[in-house]
Amino acid sequence: MLWDVFCRVIDNFGDIGVCWRLSADLANRGHSVRLWVDDASALEWMAPEPLRPPGIQVLDWDAKDQEPGDIVIEAFGCNPPDAFVARMQRPAPPVWINLEYLSAENWVERCHGLRSPVMSGPGAGLSKWFFYPGFTQATGGLLRETDLMAARQAWEADHHRHRDRWLSSMLGISAPSPDTRWLSLFCYEPAPVEAMLEALATSGQPTLVLVTPGFATALSRQWQAANPLASTLTLHELPPLSQREFDHLLWACDLNMVRGEDSAVRALWAGQPHIWHIYPQDDGVHAGKLEAFMDRWMSGWPDDLAADVRALWLSWNGLKPASTMDFEPLSRVLHDPRWAASSRASRQRLAEIPDLVTQLCGFVLNGR
């Protein structure tokens, strides 16, 4: 089947990250994919040419005279070009799917798979189907390549060797002492990075923080400039990583601080302790989304562990009053083996839900 995947790069590359993973997963399962994007520049580092599977064609958003394929994926309500939609008007129109943003809220189950007749514009008379990723059997599941869990388990079987080799080959630096904690840092601008780094520095344990480009680098540099003698904390700035190497970063670290949707899902599959910086929205609805996710992800965790981790997540996201925002629980939970064990148990629950591409294909082929 030929899939047309439409993506607009709004900010922060999360949309193109999700759409590339979707396209690559479809291509690796034998489908043909045309990825239509208004700014493909991020793919130069996110998915460099040698790492791209055959079967994907990257097209400019305004490319002309292309006949629609069998399935049209409109990512996150991006509205494909009118001329393309008009060409979807044929005796057997393509299946038109709006792939929505990820949420753990209860309403997602009610809305997943619903049909929406198009009443006006060039698509009038066609139908659009809403497909919601999610965390329950009644949703569309999460992106997860067919070989991802096997690759992760192979790494886990010899974690230290794989980690040290990755650090040397990817970053050209030697592995630190065996008692060093490894952290990855990827965040939006409002993150209280200085407070987090201060808590790590005062804990007394050697810590290597692998800092991603962008806001994380800028904010960590501010802290380092004010604390040049912090001997227990080493900050190493990363180059832009391909999606494959970003996975390896998450697998290597003892704690991952991630942001948005794409990296958050990869942190779930990594199964390591993590702290999620949810995309902040002006109307504040992200607070409810974060609470809903914490309820699902931390279900069944020991009460004291869940309380500490929730407090960290709320502080990291600026969702606690300033007078109560602190990272005191960090040193406690970082030494608690239950955090990693509980993360792996939650990962296993998610792995029992069919992945998003499997469900998409079933949705298309089985008449919806």
20: left (phi over 0), alpha (psi -120 to 50) or beta: alpha
CA 307, CA 10: separation in Å to the nearest integer?
Answer: 34
Question: Nearest 10 degrees: CA dihedral of 183, 187, 191, 197?
Answer: 20
Active-site positions?
15, 261
Closest residue by Cα to residue 13 from 292, 213, 251:
213
Q: Contact at 8 Å (CB) between 182 and 252?
A: yes
Q: What is the amino acid identity at position 68?
A: P
Q: Contact at 8 Å (CB) between 280 and 317?
A: yes
| β-pairing verdict for 127-131 and 115-117 | antiparallel
Q: How many helices (H) and strands (E) does the chain have?
A: 15, 12
